[in-house]
Amino acid sequence: MLNFNLTYVTGNYGKFISVKEHFIEKGVNINFLKADFIEPDINDITTISRFKVTEAFKLVKAPCFAADTGFYIDDYPNNPGYPGAFAKRSGISTDIKSLLEKMQKTTNRQCRFVDCLTFFDGQEFYTFYGISEGTLATTIRGNQTNKAKSNLWYVFIPKGCNKTLAEMSETERRERKDNHTSATAQFINWYIKEYMPSKDLNLTVRK
C-alpha cells in the first residue's frame, strides 16, 4: 500500500468512506479529517467546489481537492431542476419525507446526481465531473448505512434499476448498469497516471 499522506477533509464521514475505497483499490492510502467550510450561496457546483478547494489549500498549504454534488429534479413543483447545489442548504436532503410529500402529485420523477471534483495544486485547477441518472422513489427505502453520501440515497433509484442506492449492496451499487460516471474515479486515474509520476507532493483533500 502506497502512502502519499492523502488526507480527506470533509464533514461527511460517508463521503470519506466512499472515496477511501476508490483510493485503496488503486493502492493509495488516504486519511480522514473532519471539517466544514461555509459555502457561497450560489446554485453552481463548479463554483462551490473551486471555492472550497481554495479554502482548503489555505488551511493545509498543500495540493488538495474538493467536491460538491448537485441533485436535480426535472419537474420539481414550480421550480424545474431544483434543488441543484441547494440540496443540503434547502433542507431537502435532510427531510426526504417532506420532499416525497412535495412530489406526491408529480408523475415525471426523473432526477440526477451531478458531482464536481476540483483539484488545486496552488497554481492550476483541474476539474472532473460525474453523473448518475435515475428516478425519485415514492417511499423511503433502504437500511441505514454509514456509506450513504446523502439521505437522498434512500429515495434515488438509478436508471434501469429497481432498488434505491440505500437498498443496494456495495457490489450492486458499483456494478449497476446505468452508465453512471464517477468524478472521483476519473480524478484518481488522472492523478496516478498523469500527475503523481511527475510530482513529489503531499496531497490533502476536501469535500
Which residue's C-alpha cell is 479554502? 55
> Cis ω on the peptide bond leading into residue 197 (within 30° of 0)?
no
Residues 6 or more apart in contact with residue 128 via CB below 8 angstroms: 116, 117, 118, 119, 183, 184, 186, 187, 190
The ranges assigned to domains in the chain are 2-206
- pLDDT tens-digit profile of 22-38? 888 887 777 777 778 88
CA–CA dist 192, 197 (Å, integer): 7
**pLDDT one digit per residue (tens) for the chain, 207 residues:** 444 556 777 777 877 887 888 888 887 777 777 778 888 999 999 999 999 888 888 887 777 888 899 999 999 999 999 999 999 899 999 999 999 999 999 999 999 999 999 988 889 999 999 999 999 999 999 987 777 778 999 999 999 999 999 999 988 988 898 999 999 989 888 888 887 766 654 444 444
CATH class of 2-206: alpha beta
Q: What is the pTM of this model?
A: 0.85
